[in-house]
Amino acid sequence: MATANEVQAVVFDLDGVLVDSEPLWDEIRRAVVADAGRAWPTDATRALQGMSTPEWSAYLIDVIGVPGRPEDVAAMVIDAMVARYRKNLPLLPGAIEAVERLANRWPLGLASSSPRQLIATVLDSADLASRFQVTVSTEEVTAGKPSPAVYNDVVRRLAADASRVVAIEDSSNGLRSASAAGVRVIAVPNPTYPPQPDALALASTVVASLDDLTQALVASLVPQT
């Protein structure tokens, strides 16, 4: 068990860290917008990253102009995502190994912008559900990323000291969320959707892949006192 002066827990993001889901989210949301006869704004893809389900469904309706109720638009997108995951789960290289490697030493949490249904689908399909002590969706807290709300809740549920928790993030809003919660952050940038420089600068360290996510690296981020 971790002591008070070392890493106490590790928290993973889901989308873009464990699953290569951003292209799917983008594809399915674009299809919903196109079916509604609306144009996809140039900044929509980046703006939507990290939003909670209520936030992105409202964005599709209020900003882009998709007709309907937020809950119905959200259900349409989420159902399509579940179907795609069940057909072919897009796990990123090294995802299972990274989770197993770190779970062998520390309690794990998950702080995700995905709805509960998708979190369960991914973790069950990858046989990783038992490795996470705490999982929280941004739809279950007051605001999505970049708000620190989801990380604050995960840290609280893990009964950990935020300054001794290490988060694994890939996106601008994810990095901002974790940093604002006071945790140490390892960035694993997504080459297709790279984080903005100011967000990347919030990370304690940057790695090229999940294979670089070693126990030694994580442990080094919280110096022993």
Overall size of the chain counted in residues: 225
**Cα radius of gyration rounded to whole Å, the chain:** 17
Measured distance CA(24)–CA(190) in Å, rounded:
14
Query: Is residue 13 annotated as a catalytic residue, yes or no?
Result: yes
Cis, peptide link before residue 146, omega less than 30° from 0:
yes
Measured distance CA(8)–CA(182) in Å, rounded:
14
Coil vs helix vs strand at 100: helix
Sequence letter at residue 195? P
Catalytic residue among 13, 198, 211, 212: 13
**Is residue 119 within 8 Å of 110, Cβ to Cβ?**
yes
Query: Facing residues of 185 across strands?
Result: 167
Active site residues: 13, 15
